[in-house]
Copies of this chain bind each other. A is one copy, B any other.
Amino acid sequence: MKVKVSRKEHFNAAHRLYNPEWSDQENERVFGKCANPNFHGHNYDLVVSLTGEPDPATGYVYDMKKLSDVIRHNVIRKFDHKNLNLDTEYFRNLNPTAENIAIVIWRILREQIESKFDLKITLYETERNFVEYPAS
């Protein structure tokens, strides 16, 4: 009788996409305007989903207030109003595509959420572009 519960949070950040092993021309050819050396930015919407059995005593799979606190302390505090490339340790050597940001957030939260819960990340870079990890 498993239920999936989801909490939406958001953060606003700057980033640029580029591969340091490539020339500027190659980066612009592949990443287009996303390679702008002076950065651009997004309002990221983050949905964190946990799957598990509701606790008979509470009716909760997981306390959404607690999940919100876990996300804010471990993710939002580190990413909100930051430059993902310059201000975070995670994207020093990793391109901050939506795919990679979702994988990084999953790894951060997987250490905070007990293993009996399945964990899934959905990240909206814009209303029109979004990613899910893991995929299924």
* Interface set, chain A 100-136, CB cutoff 8 A to B: 100, 102-103, 118, 126-136
Q: Is the interface of A mostly helix, strand, loop or mixed?
A: mixed
**Copies per complex of this chain:** 6
Q: Contact check, A1 vs B36: say whether CB atoms are below 8 A apart.
A: no
Q: Contact check, B59 vs A40: say whether CB atoms are below 8 A apart.
A: no
Give 16 A-B contacts (CB < 8 Å), ordered by A residue: A1-B103, A1-B134, A3-B133, A5-B129, A7-B128, A14-B38, A15-B41, A34-B81, A39-B41, A43-B126, A51-B135, A59-B95, A60-B97, A60-B99, A61-B99, A118-B135
Listed in ascending order, the chain A residues whose CB lies under 8 Å from chain B are: 1-10, 12-15, 17, 19, 30-34, 36, 38-43, 51, 54, 57-61, 63-65, 80-83, 86-87, 94-100, 102-103, 118, 126-136
